[in-house]
Amino acid sequence: MKLSPFFLVTLFSLSAFAKTDPAKPVLASLNVLQAAGAKVVSSDAGLNLGYGLANPAQQEKISEIMHENGRCGGFESLSPDLKAGDVLASLKSLVEKDRAYAKKRKLLTLEKKPEIVAALKELDENNIRTTVEWLAAFPNRYNKDPRPNVHVDQFEGRLRNLMTGFRGSWKLEQIAHTSTQQKSLRLHIEGTTRPRQIVVIGGHLDSISRMGNAPGADDNASGSASILEALRVFLSKGPAERTIEFFWYAGEESGLLGSKEIAGKYKAETKNVVAVLQLDMTLFPGAGQGVIGSMEDFTSAWLRDYVVAVNDTYVGAQLITDTCGYGCSDHASWYRQGFPTVMPFEADFDRMNHNIHTAGDVIDTRMSFAHSLMFAKIALVMAMDLGNSTASQPY
Ligand code: BES
Ligand code: ZN
């Protein structure tokens, strides 16, 4: 059982606002919901998940549990229009499909392509450093800041510069949301022969802090910058056969807001998303330099196997596995809608950077841009290999 220390501390410190709010629908570890006295509307023992209604006092109770235990579970807030039973039932059927596949899966191998090997050599960790320094210098990138889009506008400007001269067909836009004033950014690079098949590569651009500035160097300037560097090299190789969409999401830290709306819309429009890569925190090698944690909940067995093959063929990191125990980042938004997701992470959960969501999430000597570069490699291979293949989730 895992509680997100970050979300709950945030909740605790923002509880002055929460007091005026009514009970909110939440998806949480069943035992956490029960311990906090929240109303459990629906539950699934096998998933250890409950859909409950937690009023502000119960949310604070969850916060207390977290303070007592250090860490033991987390929760996601859900939109009130979702039916409790439906949320759990659809999640359960997705998890069951993944588990069934994982049991009888065959080893995936990739053919090593010289053009991808050459492209990987062009990635430069100094570019990641420059981007992280720049993003972390904003006082915050908080979605509830009175001016929540200053960095979004400037990031868009940088992307437009990068796109000048690109020979393929592309579209860059800010996506407005109903749940937050902050905008997400989407760069659509149209596939040449199979444009309706979409590979999504994304991370959240927003940051949050309990007190003072929210530099969010690791969380998640690092993932955003790793994606940008992968994009830079991808552009010099031309478009892929499939469409590649790069996302920098809004409002993740306030409950996966941007990605939730986007994934919901893609599902409603029956878009064919063949893969979703989420990069959230790539800078702190807490489990060792070159050790990457592949998160196994809210991610898909097929795509995790594919990333193992990407790593074996092109990256050479040491992959370990762990779980968040809750929908800890934007991949959960996509997973819930039935799209295949994967989330390679800077370490395992226990050894991640514990300065996130504070003014201390800055670049210090323990950070490693060589570590971040490995994630850019994974993103670039996904764009160039999966982007030019016909492979898709076989279930
Ligand atoms: N990057 C963090 C969380 C994270 C923690 C990712 C551990 C992977 C492993 C993310 O931005 C975050 O803070 N998420 C929230 C949850 C969200 C639903 C508000 C959290 O973990 O509290
Ligand atoms: Zn994050």
Block mean pLDDT (10 aa), the chain, length 395 = 58 45 79 87 82 84 57 59 81 94 90 98 98 98 98 98 96 98 98 98 96 96 99 96 98 96 98 98 98 97 98 98 92 97 97 96 98 98 98 95
Distance from Cα 94 to the centre of ligand 1, integer Å: 22
Least Cα distance to 100 among 341, 301, 327, 347 occurs for 301
- CB of residue 361 inside a 6 A radius of ligand 1: no
Distance CA 237, CA 86 (A): 43
Residue that the structure tokens 């996130």 belong to: 356
> What kind and span of H or E run contains 275?
strand 272-278
Distance CA 262, CA 153 (A): 19
Contact between 26 and 255 under an 8 Å Cβ cutoff? The reply is: no
Atom in ligand 1 nearest the alpha carbon of residue 332 = 18
- CB of residue 255 inside a 6 A radius of ligand 1: yes
Mark the residues whose beta carbon lies below 5 A from ion ligand 2: 219-220, 280
Helices then strands, counting H and E runs in the chain, come out as 13, 13
Residue that the structure tokens 């007190």 belong to: 211
- CB of residue 240 inside a 6 A radius of ligand 1: no
> What's the confidence (pLDDT) of residue 1?
52
Burial category of 192 from C-beta neighbours within 10 Å (exposed 0-12, middle 13-18, buried 19 and up): middle
Distance from Cα 101 to the centre of ligand 2, integer Å: 29
Pairing of strands 291-295, 49-54: unpaired
Contacts of 381 (CB under 8 A, 6+ apart): 116, 120, 310, 313, 314, 315
Neighbours of 22 (CB within 10 A): 8
For residue 166, report the phi and psi dihedrals to the nearest 5 degrees: -65, 135
- CB of residue 184 inside a 6 A radius of ligand 1: no
Distance from Cα 44 to the centre of ligand 2, integer Å: 27
> What's the confidence (pLDDT) of residue 207?
98
- CB of residue 11 inside a 6 A radius of ligand 1: no
- CB of residue 7 inside a 6 A radius of ligand 1: yes
DSSP-assigned letter for residue 352: S
Distance from Cα 167 to the centre of ligand 2, integer Å: 33
Atom in ligand 1 nearest the alpha carbon of residue 10 = 22
Contact between 286 and 347 under an 8 Å Cβ cutoff? The reply is: yes
Helix, strand, or coil here: 170? strand
- Report residue 169 as tokens: 């067909």
